[in-house]
Amino acid sequence: MSDRYAVIGRPINHTKSPLIHGLFANATGQHLEYGAIEGSLEAFEAQVHQFRDGGGLGMNITAPFKLRAFELADQRSERARLARAANALRFENGCITAENFDGIGLLRDIEVNLGEPLRNRRVLMLGAGGAVRGALLPFLDAEPAELVVANRDMAKAMALRNELDHPRLRISRYEALEGQAFDIVINATSASLVGERPPLPGQVLGTAQLAYELAYGKGLTPFLRLAREQGVGRLADGVGMLVEQAAEAFAWWRGVRPDTRAVIDQLTIPLE
Ligand code: ATR
């Protein structure tokens, strides 16, 4: 029997993870099975234990279970702890370890695939939910000139700051962004999922070289449209992040890091 992995989420029918991990396995000559499990709101923990007890070696976790996966683990990486969320679990010697590769996946996509290093750049991140929490540590490690996090709910954003006091991290209201300039702007809010856009004032995207939308496969979202109107040179969605976080998990489980370029190309849906 080959080694078993799976992604669990609710709903799970649109997941690309089995496809991505299947392509990685082929490309690296690793023998594994990777399935998809529709999670149960009542019995998520039991489902994870059942998969592990049946010989499973690891799982990816997607919405809405990332927090519950983090909580059920015996050990947690630092970035999972800061995110208070796990997107990957590893089962080893009776121990469940939680990791969060979303932030590092996003960083790698921006720096390596899109060729925009964060070092000494001014970076604006919109939102203060799980996606932003997961990205803070890897982003600050990349030494931007400043990382500004803007959110409507200031209490939520300030809570981030209280957990991670860093000289390059600044919390801002949307209105206070007026007149500021950024090189890289990332929409990590869930606004696009309901066809909305974060309340960015004035021409705040005007100087940016890259506008990045975390949502994948939603085409030109209201945020990306605004970025285009304000003349941002490069627009990207989250396909590269999706593939990069998968590659990190694959490397963590299998000890081999697959090449991501061909898989990103295969999954890319043109923005228009
Ligand atoms: P996730 O874990 O996916 O990041 P979340 O924890 O539900 O999701 O957080 C959603 C984020 O999107 C929040 O930062 C939310 O802002 P508030 O905390 O101010 O509510 C943000 N968000 C959702 N809809 C938005 C909109 N229309 N404009 C701006 N921000 C929005």
Measuring from atom 28 of ligand 1, which residue has the nearest CA? Answer: 198
Q: Which CATH class is domain 103-237?
A: alpha beta
CB of 150 closer than 8 Å to CB of 174: yes
Q: Supply the pTM of this predicted model.
A: 0.96
Q: How much distance in Å is there from the Cα of 27 to the middle of ligand 1?
A: 37
Pocket test for ligand 1, best of 84, 158, 189 (most atoms within 8 A of CB): 189
Measuring from atom 12 of ligand 1, which residue has the nearest CA? Answer: 189
| Topology of the domain covering 3-100+243-267 | Rossmann fold (3.40.50)
Measuring from atom 2 of ligand 1, which residue has the nearest CA? Answer: 130
What's the first-to-final CA gap in the chain, in angstroms?
43
Q: How much distance in Å is there from the Cα of 41 to the middle of ligand 1?
A: 22
What is residue 272's predicted lDDT score, i.e. its pLDDT? 87
Taking CB atoms and a 6 Å cutoff, what residues make up the pocket around ligand 1? 127-131, 151-153, 156, 189-191, 196, 198
CA-nearest of 69, 78, 73, 84 to 7 is 69
The alpha carbon dihedral of 246, 248, 150, 232 has a sign of negative
218 is catalytic: no
What is residue 33's predicted lDDT score, i.e. its pLDDT? 97
**Identical fold, 3-100+243-267 and 103-237:** yes
Measuring from atom 14 of ligand 1, which residue has the nearest CA? Answer: 127
Q: Residue-wise pLDDT tens for the chain (272 aa)?
A: 789 999 999 999 999 999 999 999 999 999 999 999 999 999 999 999 999 999 999 999 999 999 999 999 999 999 999 899 999 999 999 999 999 999 999 999 999 999 999 999 999 999 999 889 999 999 999 999 999 999 999 999 999 999 899 999 999 999 999 999 999 999 999 999 899 999 999 999 999 999 999 999 999 999 999 999 999 999 999 999 999 999 999 999 999 999 999 999 999 999 98
From the alpha carbon of 133, which atom of ligand 1 is closest? 4
Q: How much distance in Å is there from the Cα of 129 to the middle of ligand 1?
A: 6
C-beta neighbour count of 41 within 10 angstroms: 9
Q: Where are the domains of the chain?
A: 3-100+243-267, 103-237
DSSP state at residue 192: G
Q: How much distance in Å is there from the Cα of 50 to the middle of ligand 1?
A: 33
Measuring from atom 24 of ligand 1, which residue has the nearest CA? Answer: 191
Q: How many helices (H) and strands (E) does the chain have?
A: 10, 12
Task: Give the E-state strand segments of the chain in sequence order.
Answer: 3-9, 32-38, 56-61, 75-76, 88-92, 95-99, 122-126, 146-150, 169-172, 184-187, 210-213, 234-236
